[in-house]
Amino acid sequence: MYRTASLISLLIWIIVSSLNAKEREYAIAIHGGAGVMRGLTDDSPQAVQYYDALDSALTIGERLLAAGEEGPKVVLAVINYLENNPLFNAGKGATVSAEGTFELDAAIMTGNGLKAGAVAGVKKIKNPINAAYAVMMHSPHVMLSGSGADDFAGGLGLEMVEDNMYFATPKTLKWIEQFKRESGKNGTVGCVVMDKDGNLTAGTSTGGMLKKRWGRIGDSPVIGAGTYADNNSCAVSCTGHGEYFIRHAVAFNLCARFKYLNESVEEAANYIIFNELNATAGNGGLIAIDKNGNIAMPFNSEGMFRGYLYKEKDESSSVKKIGIKKDIK
């Protein structure tokens, strides 16, 4: 009799919990790199610039998601904005290689059908994320690199730059001359989305590691390392010390923990960032959205440019949070 009553109570609790649970209509998370954030107090003029840029990126994404746009188009629009903003290490403002040139990487993946495209080491494509999307949509391949990727993008009519120095800014020109590690901008930009149809998309774009040599490629364009999406689990975009994110297959690892260990997206993300990686070897962070629109954004570095926005199906307004150093749960 006692066991029956307990089972009935449990069933009632499950039913009530499911009725009270809010279903998200759409969700988006973005990042603009993780690492050293010296001089970026919450109210400094430079911090305000980053807050404004992250807010603008989320606004672009929200407008498209609210209108019912599909995830890939939202990710492209948001990352295009971030690639064109010289504050970030992607596109215009990318960090410089040891040879004094700019070599850019990007990837995009859709959770619906596990479609993916990536480019690595490109030098002439204005917006590498657009080239990654073109690889996904217009080629039988997943990743193209170097001059071949540049030629592929140019052949499709994507916007190109004649001079690789287009990607330079006054700060990166100073790096070319002095190679000073004077900035906290040592990451990537990324965007993960759950659209109104419940489809997940992840995209990442980067200028890579300062003073990289020998055609070094980090985790950002590597599907499963820096970028991954699966409608049965999560969408993930990573930023940080790419070699370690590759070794730990961080993006796929998170999705696998969610899918096979039944961990929440936050539990899975926290375990990887704080247990498998650490702040001295493999520092950085990630953004992730699960199939229900729940968001995780942990980092083990000094700071991380990040923000999120979501809308519940039964609410008239959305929830938006932006941060650099402090927790923004």
Mean pLDDT of 254-277: 96
Residue 26: pLDDT over 50? yes
Average pLDDT over residues 218-242: 95
Pairing mode, if any, of strands 234-240 and 227-229? antiparallel
Distance CA 166, CA 93 (A): 9
pLDDT for the residue numbered 280: 67
**pLDDT over threshold 70, residue 236:** yes
Q: Report the residue count for the chain.
A: 329
Q: Which of 128-132, 257-261, 276-280 has the lowest mean pLDDT?
A: 276-280
Instruction: Supply the pTM of this predicted model.
Output: 0.89
Instruction: Give the pLDDT score at 19.
Output: 40
* 19 compared with 323, residue with greater pLDDT: 323
Could you confirm whether 188 is annotated as catalytic?
A: yes
pLDDT exceeds 90 at position 192 = yes
Question: 170 or 145: whose pLDDT is higher?
Answer: 145
| Of 39-43, 75-79, 233-237, the least confident | 39-43
> Does residue 4 carry a pLDDT above 60?
no
When computed from its CA atoms, the radius of gyration of the chain, rounded to whole angstroms, is 20
Tokens in use for 175?
């790096």
Q: Is 184 left (phi over 0), alpha (psi -120 to 50) or beta?
A: alpha
Element housing 73 (H / E): helix 71-83
Which of 95, 172, 188, 204 is the catalytic position?
A: 188
Query: Which of the residue ranges 6-10, 101-105, 266-270, 319-323 would you say has the lowest mean pLDDT?
Result: 6-10
User: What is the Cα–Cα distance from 84 to 91, expressed in whole angstroms?
Assistant: 6
Confidence band (pLDDT; 50, 70, 90) for 233?
very high
Tell me, what's the pLDDT at 171?
74
pLDDT at 122 over 60: yes
List, in order, residues 6 or more apart from 317 with CB less than 8 Å away. Answer: 311
Q: Which residues contact 314 (CB under 8 A, 6 or more apart)?
A: 22, 23
Q: What is the mean pLDDT of residues 162-172?
A: 84
| pLDDT tens-digit map of 283-319 | 899 999 999 999 999 999 888 999 999 999 999 999 9
Q: Which of 11-20, 100-109, 165-174 has the highest mean pLDDT?
A: 100-109
- Exposed, middle or buried, 28 (CB in 10 Å: 0-12/13-18/19+)? buried
